[in-house]
Structure 1
Amino acid sequence: METSPQLFQDFTKRYYLPARPYGFALFRLYFRLKVTGVNQIPPTGGVILVPNHTSFLDPPLLSSAVPRVIYFLMLHQHYYHPWFHWLFRRLPCIPMKRSAAGGTAFKHCLQVLEHEQILCMFPEGGISREHKAQGLRHGAALLAVHTHAPIVPVGIYGASKALALKQWFPRPRAITINFGKPLYAPVSDSHDKALLQYITEQTMEQVQALLSKREKKT
């Protein structure tokens, strides 16, 4: 059975936010981490972060860069991995089965946003290098229509060079995180598939623009 999110206040008061500055300092030193546009994230209220996903480094990088608690939607098999479950169950993670769209995980995501927290969703459903909107899941768009929480697109550049798939230890490669302007879904029927596809495409276009912004400088 999928585990529900921990008490929201625990991460703020105990270890998550107190440890964040140390993680950010470490990433700045090792990855020369640069962050732009983090002020685009509203300081209060529910927010949906939608980044590209190219490396297992993405969640810790985002957690260090954002001065609020982030709840991550992650695949069930990763959450219950025998080596890392002890860690993930102590962090703001929401496990999801690919075949259970709209189930318990979706309800937990709604709960996170209703408690005015930040939810991070990787619309590609896993690590990918394509960053294309075609065939993507509409979960972020559906939640935005349901809750009126803004979607903040995020472009993470360099993480796959620092820690590629099947690589055990990260290399000291430069990483940049660009946060874009919030996108607000119109008040509409959440069953409007055309609207959900439009919101998803607009979000991924912004993600790609944030990546292109970084790539032009290299």
Structure 2
Amino acid sequence: MPKQGPVIIAPTHRSRWDALLVSLAVGRGVSGRDLRFMVTATEMTGIQGWFIRHLGGFPIDLKHPEFTILAHSVALLKEGEWLVIFPEGGIFRDNKVHPLKRGVGRIALEVLAQQPDSSIQILPIGLQYDPSCPTWGSQAKIEIGKPLAVSDYEATSMKSSSEALTLTLQQCLQALIDKSLFKIS
């Protein structure tokens, strides 16, 4: 796990419990770092919304991703924060990593473009539950991957760098799920 510098934590998304599990796995109690969460606006309602806000969540509208969200995320990371983004963009309960949204790569590369000496990394995390639709007492499996150094992907254009970084992240996440003890059908 990275010891310092900005980190985008990129877990698979399997349940509404994921934010809590990620916080327990890599948050303040383990890393000494508070986490910030990029969360869809629809998840920020009711008791769940209250809980997510207290875990460090801030809302985004996937139908209208504004430049301000990109700017806010980049600003947090330039300050050395740890930002959790679920790159699949939705909850999926199977063994497959679904196509990743391009935001993780774009945000990470934008931080590097604005702060060339940044040591920004992406930390892939594979999450699974048994049963796949968790209830109270379900088992959870968390696999933390090797951090990806974003600086390894800055040699080409922003678009091709982002695509390469996203592909590598997708492969890392699938490898973590494949390694998991739970084989969900």
SS at match of 1:155: strand
Contact map agreement 1:48 1:152 (CA 8 A) in 2: yes
Q: Judge conservation of contact 2:109–2:158 (CA < 8 Å) in 1.
A: no
Runs of 4+, deviation exceeding 6 Å: none
Structure 2: which 5+ residue stretches go unaligned?
A: 113-119
- Does residue 44 in structure 1 map to residue 4 in structure 2? yes
CA displacement at 1:159 relative to structure 2: 6.2
Show the counterpart of 2:115: none
Q: Secondary structure at the match of 2:180?
A: helix
Q: Residue 24 of structure 2 is aligned with which of 64, 69, 80?
A: 64
Secondary structure of the corresponding residue to residue 158 of structure 1: strand
- Structure 1 residue 162: deviation in Å? 5.4
Structure 1 residue ranges without an equivalent (≥5): 1-40, 164-169
Deviations 1:181-204 (A, max 9, x none): 111222246x63232122111101
Range 41-50 or range 84-93, more displaced: 84-93
Name the CA shift for 1:173/1:86 in 2 (closer, same or farther; >3 Å): closer
Counterparts of 1:5-44 in structure 2, within 5 Å, are 41-44=1-4
157 and 111 in structure 1: CA distance in 2 versus 1, 3 angstrom threshold: same
User: Cα RMSD between the aligned structures?
Assistant: 2.3
In the alignment, is residue 111 of structure 1 matched against residue 75 of structure 2?
Answer: yes
**8 Å Cα contact 1:145-1:188 kept in structure 2:** no
8 A contact 1:73–1:121 mirrored in 2? yes
> For 2:65 and 2:131, how far apart are their aligned partners in 1?
27
Give the residue type in structure 2 aligned to 1:65: A
What is the rounded CA distance, in whole Å, between the counterparts of 1:56 and 1:65 in structure 2?
15
Query: What amino acid is the match of 2:106?
Result: L
Compute the TM-score of the two structures, normalised by the length of structure 1.
0.69
Q: How does 1:1-218 map to 2 (within 5 A)?
A: 41-66=1-26, 67=30, 68-79=33-44, 81-128=45-92, 129=94, 130-133=96-99, 136-148=100-112, 149-158=120-129, 161=132, 163=134, 170-185=135-150, 186-188=153-155, 192-215=158-181
Q: Which has the higher strand share?
A: 2
1:114: how far off? 1.3
Q: What is the match of residue 117 of structure 2?
A: none
Contact 2:74 2:108 in 1 (8 A): no
Give the CA deviation at 1:174: 2.0
Count of aligned positions: 168
Q: 1:182 to 1:86 in 2, by over 3 A?
A: closer
TM-score (norm. length: structure 2):
0.80
Distance 1:57 1:120 in 2: 14
The question of whether the paired residues in 1 share the 8 Å contact of 2:127 and 2:141 is answered with yes
Look at both structures and tell me which one has the larger radius of gyration over its CA atoms.
1
Distance 1:85 1:215, change over 3 A: closer
